[in-house]
Amino acid sequence: MKFGSQSEVEPIKHLLLKHPKDAFIDQENINTQWKELNYLDCPDYDKALKEYNDFVELLKKSVPEIDYLPQNAQTGLDSIYVHDSAIITSKGAILCNMGKEKRYAESEAVGDFFFKMGIPILGSIVGEGRLEGGDVVWFDERTIAVGLGSRTHEEGIRQLKELIKDFVDEFIIVPLPHWKGPGDVLHLMSFISPVDNNLAVVYSRLLPVFFRKWLLRRGIQLLEVPDSEYETMACNILAVSPGKCFMISGNPQTKKMLKNKGVEIWEYEGEEISRKGAGGPTCLTRPLLRERD
């Protein structure tokens, strides 16, 4: 099969998801896990199914092929956020080693699924290395930025750099702030989402000055998420192709900025599947193949 996703904006041809019926399982399972996983509130299972099914129906309008990870007894609620457990390169998958202890089993589960699908494993982050997919942003096929924070550590970054050294020219390490502490979800993609090749939505209060300057030198226009919409995940946006994006409903100022730049927006209701677990549309999806028509 074809695979490779060294971009955040090229058209998604094949997508991996995990349905809440296989991640959440049922309300009783949610009730026993959500507090220890630091969710903001307890998801409602039935509402989550409705939200997710509506989200998938929207995705189907833009994405020709969708696969689903199966239920796995070793993984928990967070496995719905399939973006974090692996990175897909043109040479194969890199299995991450999660910074959140309760998510350790997710990478092995996704690795087993890739084996059955015929996606080769380029390598794995092992030992003391920690790396999560939400800290990895591709700006083109040979340029990558990786967040260094509570979920992704120096050793994980070192291992990633070694695995991709033959096909990446520029590798940028972006130190992340402490913000609300290690119990909170703060990835590099928490405050930057490319929506086109020269356009990104950002929350500059959390961007290191050197990285923000690098983005501007690269010719990327920055759309600034207002303070009032950062907490409602306006900065977590999924581009299904250049200038065509998904975002959580309820962020009108950010939506207006995007529409003024000609960006097409599809909104979904994400109270149960996104806000309570702090995982937006990017987190819910792992593109297996992005390529131009």
Check if the beta carbon of residue 16 is closer than 8 Å to that of residue 288. yes
Architecture of the domain made up of 12-290: 5-stranded Propeller (3.75)
Bridging pattern class, strands 136-140 and 221-224: unpaired
Domain boundaries, the chain: 12-290
Rounded to 5°, angle at Cα 195 from 189 and 199: 105
- What's the pLDDT tens digit per position in 32-50? 999 999 999 999 999 999 9
**pLDDT category of residue 185 using cuts at 50, 70 and 90:** confident
- What's the pLDDT tens digit per position in 229-266? 999 999 999 999 999 999 999 999 999 999 999 999 99
Quickly list H helices, the chain: 20-23, 27-33, 45-60, 105-117, 154-164, 209-217, 227-230, 252-260
pTM: 0.96
Core vs surface per residue 28-38: b (16+ CB within 10 A) or e: eebeebbeebe
pLDDT at 17 over 90: yes
- The mean per-residue pLDDT over the stretch 95-111 comes to 95
User: How far from chain centre, in Å, is Cα 82?
Assistant: 8
pLDDT for position 179: 76
Burial of 107 from C-beta contacts in 10 A (0-12 / 13-18 / 19+): buried
The conformation of residue 11, written as its DSSP 8-state character, comes to P
